[in-house]
């Protein structure tokens, strides 16, 4: 099932585009693996310290706890 990105995830991805950064660039800055960095940014996992560190890297407000996790998207068949 598809996921809906959180507002925090969307903001980080937009900032990555603005700064011409890819996931590997962010991972290098925070000294994590690309896979772990992707899991945090895409909301597949939540670690408060990791979310805070990425927020600080991009100079944005630290989000409330657990608001960065992706949510399940309802099937489009249910909507239409």
Q: Decide if 46 is inside a domain.
A: yes
Dig out the tokens for 80 from the structure: 């239409």
How many domains, the chain? 1
pLDDT at residue 58 is higher than 60: yes
Q: Decide if 31 is inside a domain.
A: yes
Q: Decide if 30 is inside a domain.
A: yes
Percent of the chain with pLDDT over 70: 89
Query: What confidence tens digit (pLDDT) does each residue in 42-51 have?
Result: 999 999 999 9
Angle between helices 48-58 and 34-41 (to 10 degrees): 90
Segment holding 27, helix H or strand E:
helix 23-30
Higher-confidence residue of 67 and 18: namely: 18
pLDDT at residue 75 is higher than 70: no
Q: Which domain holds residue 32?
A: 3-61
Closest CA to 8 of 49, 40, 32, 30: 40
Residue 30 maps to which CATH number?
1.10.260.40
Give me the mean pLDDT over the 25-53 stretch: 96
Strands of the chain, DSSP E: 3-4, 71-72
């Amino acid at each position: 099932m598809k996921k809906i990105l959180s507002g925090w995830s969307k903001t980080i991805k937009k900032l990555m585009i603005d700064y011409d950064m890819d996931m590997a660039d962010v991972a290098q800055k925070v000294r994590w693996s690309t896979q772990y960095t992707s899991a945090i940014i895409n909301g597949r996992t939540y670690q408060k310290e990791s979310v805070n560190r990425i927020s600080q890297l991009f100079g944005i407000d630290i989000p409330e706890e657990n608001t960065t996790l992706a949510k399940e998207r309802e099937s489009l068949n249910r909507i239409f």
